[in-house]
Amino acid sequence: MTLTPFSKPLNRRFSVAPMLDWTDPHERYFLRLISKNALLYTEMVTTGALIHGERNRYLHYNAEEHPLALQLGGSNPKELSICTQMAVDYGYDEINLNVGCPSQRVQKGAFGACLMREPSLVADCVNAMKDKANGCPITVKNRIGVDDHEGYEKLYYFIQTVAKAGCQTFIIHARKALLKGLSPKENRDIPPLDYSMVYQLKKDFPQLNIIINGGIKTLAACTQHLQHVDGVMIGREAYHNPYLLAHVDQQFYNSPQAAPSREQILQQYLNYIQQQLKKGTSLNHMTRHILGLYH
């Protein structure tokens, strides 16, 4: 299967985070009805799932979802290079390496946030991915630290090391990950936010694209962050309050088109649901994503 990537240069001023069990193809299609320009991300897909599983199940998407990034979870450079080639064949616009997920399942696979301790390995992974990327951007999503491996000096060294391997874009969740004693849900709330560390990275690495993530809930907050960094990524708020995206195109991409109404969005999504039902798609898998539309 080969699809055509997005024809325009990627603009990362606003993006929606990869979220396990949430940002599936139906959710992404729904969000694309609200914003034509926001960069969307898949759920994290592990290298093992792609290499040993049914790849089309994990990689398929609707052409309307562009611009679209695939997030990979893994720590083996060879496996990541194989999966990068798959992603290129499927026409993704960006391939992102997960260095931020704190779940125990991910830790057992020796990837995610625990890789913050191994910047040289992450650099090797990025280098291997770039070899197969055919020009597709390779990016990294990471935290500001992990457990007692914290502080700006360590974060600086991580960014510096991985950037030398060719990564030009870092999406940084402005919390450290606590891998011992906290669940993934708690890791999204309990570790304190430190936006200033992300701002400092942009000052120290002006040549890099620095995207900030974590605890951002309004477009006004996005505008404030954009005074310091290149882009903003919103996670759970975009899922629970999707109409937040309605003014993204006008505010951040200078779109002349009026924001769609909730009714217009719902009607278009109902048309999509009818098409998908004919293919045997579960109704619940699609309708669960619209519960926050009238938030």
Higher pLDDT, 104 or 187: 187
**pLDDT grade, residue 54 (50/70/90)?**
very high
**Alpha helices (H) along the chain:** 25-34, 47-52, 55-59, 77-89, 104-108, 119-132, 152-164, 184-187, 195-204, 219-225, 236-240, 248-253, 262-278, 283-287
Q: What per-residue confidence (pLDDT) applies to 108? A: 59
pTM: 0.94
CATH fold of 14-290, please? TIM Barrel (3.20.20)
Query: For residue 67, what is the DSSP state?
Result: S
Catalytic: 101? yes
For 106, half-sphere exposure in the C-beta direction (CA atoms, 13 angstrom radius) is 24
Question: Looking at this protein, which amino acid is placed at residue 113?
Answer: A
Catalytic residue among 83, 101, 125, 167: 101
- Mean of pLDDT over the chain: 94
Q: Among residues of the chain, what percentage have pLDDT more than 90?
A: 85
Q: What per-residue confidence (pLDDT) applies to 111? A: 79
Q: What per-residue confidence (pLDDT) applies to 186? A: 82
Q: Alpha-carbon distance 36 to 64, whole Å?
A: 9
Q: Among all chains, which residue has been given the structure tokens 């560390």?
A: 197
Cα 69 from chain centre: 7
Q: Is the pLDDT of residue 132 over 70?
A: yes
Q: pLDDT digits over 218-256, tens only?
A: 999 999 999 999 999 999 999 999 999 999 999 999 999
Q: pLDDT digits over 75-108, tens only?
A: 999 999 999 999 999 999 999 999 988 776 555 5
Q: pLDDT digits over 282-295, tens only?
A: 999 999 999 999 98
Domains of the chain by residue range = 14-290
Residue 122 to residues 127, 132, 197, 280, Cα–Cα distance (Å): 9, 16, 20, 40
User: Counting beta carbons within 10 angstroms of the beta carbon of residue 291, is it exposed (0 to 12), middle (13 to 18) or buried (19 or more)?
Assistant: exposed
Q: Alpha-carbon distance 73 to 239, whole Å?
A: 22
Q: Among residues 254, 115, 232, which one has the least CA distance to residue 172? A: 232
